[in-house]
Amino acid sequence: MIQAQPPDSREFDALETLEGALDWWREAGVDADFSDEPSGWLAEPEAEKDVAAPPPPPPPKIVRKNALERALDRPGNAAQSIDIAAMPDTLEKFREWWMSEPSLAEGALDRRVPPAGVASAKVMLVLPQPFETDREGLLTGEAGKFVRALLGAMGIAGHEAYFATALPAPMAMPEWDKLAAAGLGEVTRHHIALAAPERVILFGREQLALFGRSTEDARAPLTIDCAGKSVALLPAPDLRNLARSARRRETFWNRWLDWTA
């Protein structure tokens, strides 16, 4: 019978030292063995299946238009041909045609503003288009106050003036050259001829394109032909520019005095 030998005391000391070291590392949070050697965790794909996925399609491009571009896209900005032969030959009938003829301002029948006044007025004021504030008639908004003050300084009563516009409804950024080519110039001449005023003031020099003139011709009074009759016309700045510029008002007033002297 073999008798077991008691362990050497040095083996107990080494074992206690090893267990103590392991306990220290466990308390420090290290409880696993790590290796710095890289290893592949995922299986490598086979050669015939290693095909790159197609890239995702690009997101749709969103085109955002500014306010001006949106305004230019509105119906009514495209100049279409006007049937000149269909224009009535009396002022009363012309006003009815002015409010209903589609080619004058397509898509804006509900926003049209009729001219105001009687024939043979002392002066005819021609604006490019109605103001947005003209809810109850031409120049019934804020601009009307300035016009009434202007006429008062001229010594002209409201009933002695004829108020008209080149366009029957507001239009964003009208291109006067294209509108003239479409026949709007002939419409304006015909309107002036039917109203038969003593003088015409054209507010907004860009409208001179309707009479085949440029803004360079706005420096002095003009004479235009309307249905075979010569009519005196004074180009003037746009009413808004005239109202907010004292220098423009002074220049306009001096030209008015020279023109009517």
- What pTM did the predictor assign? 0.69
The residue ranking higher by pLDDT, 110 or 74, is 110
User: In 3D, which of 232, 231, 237 has the Cα closest to residue 253?
Assistant: 237
For 152-169, how does the pLDDT look when each residue is reduced to its tens digit (9 = 90+)? Answer: 999 999 999 999 999 999
pLDDT at residue 257 tops 80:
yes
- From the number of C-beta atoms within 10 Å of its C-beta (0-12, 13-18, 19+), residue 232 rates as middle
Token duo for residue 115: 């001219």
CATH 3.10.180.10 is held by the domain 90-260 = no
**Average pLDDT value over all residues in the chain:** 81
What φ, ψ does residue 256 adopt, rounded to 5°? -65, -45
- pLDDT one-digit tens code per residue, 193-208: 999 999 999 999 999 9
CB 163 within 8 A of CB 125: yes
Which stretch, 5-14, 27-36, 38-47, 58-67, has highest mean pLDDT?
A: 27-36
Amino acid in the structure at residue 106: E
Q: Is 220 exposed, middle or buried (0-12, 13-18, 19+ CB in 10 A)?
A: exposed
Rounded to whole angstroms, the Cα distance separating 192 from 71 reads: 30
Over the stretch 90-136, which tens digit does the pLDDT of each residue have? 999 999 999 999 888 766 778 899 999 999 999 999 999 999 888 88
Strands (E), 130-256: 161-165, 199-203, 222-226, 229-236
